[in-house]
C-alpha cells in the first residue's frame, strides 16, 4: 500500500492550519496476503456461512465489548500491534490487516485488526489509563481467549466485559 493511501479517512482535515491534532499513521501489512473480492450471492450458489450454533441459538457472531481500566502501555504502538496479533492467534482467527493511528500529544491509539472472521478494534486514552476494545468474531473463532492476552499485555486494575450475540433474530 502506498504512503498516500495509508491515511485512514477520519473526518479530520489534517492539513488544516487551524487543526491542533497531530497524527502518526502506521500500517502493518500481512506478508503474502491475497486481495479478497466478494462475489455476488445468487440462489443457485451453495451457501457457505459462518453462523454459530450454541446453547440452542443460531447467531452471526460473538461481540465482546471490553473496557480496560487502570491499564498501562496504551501509547506503545509496537506493543499494541503485537498484542492484537497475539489476540488473533489465541482466538484461532485469521488476520487480514492491522491499521493503527497514533494521536499526539496524548499518545492515544485507535486501530483495528481486520479478520476473516470480523475484527478487533482498540481506542486508548493513556492519560486516563483506559482503553475500549471491541472483539467481534464469527465461525469457529474463540474471542474469549483474547481477554487473558489483554490482561497480561496491559495489566489493568479492572476488566469489564460485555457480550452480545449478533444477529440472533436474523439468521
Can 99 be counted among the known catalytic residues?
no
* The one catalytic residue among 138, 144, 157, 164: 138
Can 43 be counted among the known catalytic residues?
no
Q: Are 7 and 21 in contact (CB under 8 A)?
A: no
Secondary structure (H, E, C), 78-133 = HHHHHHHHHHHHHCCCCEEEEEEEEEECCCCEEEEEEECCEEEEEEEEHHHCEEEE
Can 110 be counted among the known catalytic residues?
no
* The one catalytic residue among 116, 123, 144, 157: 123
Measured in Å, how far apart are the chain's first and last C-alpha atoms? 36
Does residue 23 have a cis bond before it (omega within 30 degrees)? no
* The one catalytic residue among 91, 102, 118, 124: 118
DSSP-derived pairing of the beta strands 118-125 and 130-137: antiparallel
Catalytic amino acids?
118, 123, 138
Amino acid at each position: 500500500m502506498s504512503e498516500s493511501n495509508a491515511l485512514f479517512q477520519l473526518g479530520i482535515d489534517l492539513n488544516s492550519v487551524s487543526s491542533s491534532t497531530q497524527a502518526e499513521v502506521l500500517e502493518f501489512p500481512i506478508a503474502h496476503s491475497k486481495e479478497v473480492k466478494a462475489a455476488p450471492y445468487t440462489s443457485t450458489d451453495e451457501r457457505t456461512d459462518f453462523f454459530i450454533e450454541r446453547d440452542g441459538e443460531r447467531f452471526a457472531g460473538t461481540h465482546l465489548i471490553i473496557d480496560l481500566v487502570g491499564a498501562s502501555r496504551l501509547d506503545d504502538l509496537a506493543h499494541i500491534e503485537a498484542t492484537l496479533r497475539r489476540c488473533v492467534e489465541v482466538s484461532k482467527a485469521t488476520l487480514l490487516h492491522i491499521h493503527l493511528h497514533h494521536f499526539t500529544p496524548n499518545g492515544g491509539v485507535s486501530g483495528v485488526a481486520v479478520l476473516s472472521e470480523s475484527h478487533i478494534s482498540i481506542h486508548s486514552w493513556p492519560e486516563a489509563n483506559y482503553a475500549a476494545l471491541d472483539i467481534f468474531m464469527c465461525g469457529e473463532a474463540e474471542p474469549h481467549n483474547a481477554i487473558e492476552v489483554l490482561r497480561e499485555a496491559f495489566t489493568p486494575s479492572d476488566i469489564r466485559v460485555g457480550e452480545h450475540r449478533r444477529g440472533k433474530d436474523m439468521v
